[in-house]
Amino acid sequence: MHSQRFYTLSGSCPDQIGIIARVAGFIAQHRGWILESSYHADDGNGEQDGRYFMRMEVKAESLPFHLAEFRERFRPLADELSMDWKISDSAVKRRVVIMVSKQEHCLYDLLSRWQAKELDIEIPCVISNHDTFKALVEWHGIPFHHVPVDPDNKAAAHAEIRRIYEEVKGDTMVLARYMQILPADLCDSYPGQMINIHHSFLPSFVGARPYHQAFRRGVKLIGATCHYVTRELDQGPIIEQDVIRIDHSDSIEDMVRYGKDIEKAVLARGLRYHLEDRVLVHANKTVIFR
């Protein structure tokens, strides 16, 4: 990450000749200084044509205009390339709303990284269906919203979550072990904004007590997956994954502890990739520029 202010231009388009030349040429035409660039050409799979993915960081002070004018000037070129694209400003902190239930490890980790400025974000609030962590969150100076969810009030609860998210102007929602299924309409409202973490036993070990199921089957790897939330449960585009090896000497308690450790690390990395616009998605496939 550069210490100076920069803009991040990222996007994808059908693969063709001259993409880099035209985009870099546009930036050079306006005396823009490219600090970092990454590219990837996907050949397709026989069912889809090839896709080109790109990410550029441009020194903000090198351009003679701000983002609004950049968007207006760049849009005709992007349209010619049929490009899905966005541009962000490193000086604008993302507003991350954290959602949690009764498992604390991911919440603790995100708050610690935020407090240490490892995650340079704003946390306008934490939402939970339990009040277990109210004192902890408010001790950090962050508003806490207790939104209970039960079979009789799910619609009202989900409407309240939407209201809070909109009210605080959130642009990213992190499900830090939030153990409720969000409705399809809520997921559809914020594509590419909602991030979840789960153990990589899914879908092999679904339901309650997955580590107990895995222990009985003698698994040799513990893992975690960070992904975007879609209306298809746990089927959204994958952002980050990792595993650690275990053996017969590890107990269920050991497995749970290892699982929590890797979930924290994978969620933090996945969130960072998202915040830095290093994740590009097309047709449910992700390209990650690390």
Where are the domains positioned within the chain?
6-89, 94-288
- How confident is the model over 47-77, as pLDDT tens digits? 567 999 999 999 999 999 999 999 999 999 9
Choose the CATH number for 6-89 among 3.30.70.20, 3.30.2010.30, 3.30.70.260, 3.20.20.300.
Answer: 3.30.70.260
CA–CA gap between residue 100 and residue 147 (Å, rounded): 11
Is the predicted pLDDT of residue 22 greater than 80, yes or no? yes
3-state SS, residue 192: coil
Q: For residue 113, what are its two tokens? A: 């990284």
Reported confidence tier of residue 218, pLDDT bands at 50, 70, 90: confident
Q: Please, which residues have CB within 8 angstroms of residue 102's CB and are 6 or more apart in sequence?
A: 130, 132, 179
CA–CA gap between residue 233 and residue 235 (Å, rounded): 5
Which one is predicted more confidently, 23 or 218?
Answer: 23
Q: Is-contact 42 15, C-beta < 8 A?
A: yes
> Mean pLDDT throughout 106-127?
97
Is the predicted pLDDT of residue 214 greater than 60, yes or no? yes
Which pTM was predicted?
Answer: 0.93
Q: Is-contact 134 144, C-beta < 8 A?
A: yes
Cα–Cα–Cα angle for 236, 146, 174, rounded to 5 degrees = 25
Phi, psi for 97 (deg, rounded to 5): -95, 125
> Mean pLDDT throughout 145-166?
96
- Which candidate in 84, 89, 234, 254 is catalytic? 234
CA 261 to chain CA mean position, Å = 19
The domain made up of 94-288 has a fold known as Rossmann fold (3.40.50)
Phi, psi for 233 (deg, rounded to 5): -55, 120
Q: Is-contact 19 77, C-beta < 8 A?
A: no
The percent of residues in the chain predicted with pLDDT above 90, rounded, is 82
Q: For residue 230, what are its two tokens? A: 């879609």
Question: What DSSP element (H or E) covers 28?
Answer: helix 19-29
CA–CA gap between residue 72 and residue 30 (Å, rounded): 13
CA–CA gap between residue 76 and residue 20 (Å, rounded): 16
- How confident is the model over 69-105, as pLDDT tens digits? 999 999 999 999 999 999 999 999 999 999 999 999 9
Phi, psi for 96 (deg, rounded to 5): -105, 115
Is the predicted pLDDT of residue 206 greater than 80, yes or no? no
Average pLDDT for the chain: 93
- How confident is the model over 164-203, as pLDDT tens digits? 999 999 999 999 999 999 999 999 999 999 999 988 765 5
Reported confidence tier of residue 163, pLDDT bands at 50, 70, 90: very high
Is the predicted pLDDT of residue 153 greater than 70, yes or no? yes
Q: For residue 18, what are its two tokens? A: 């001259």
pLDDT at position 15? 95
Which one is predicted more confidently, 219 or 147?
Answer: 147
Active site residue 234: yes
> Mean pLDDT throughout 105-127?
97
CA–CA gap between residue 15 and residue 40 (Å, rounded): 10
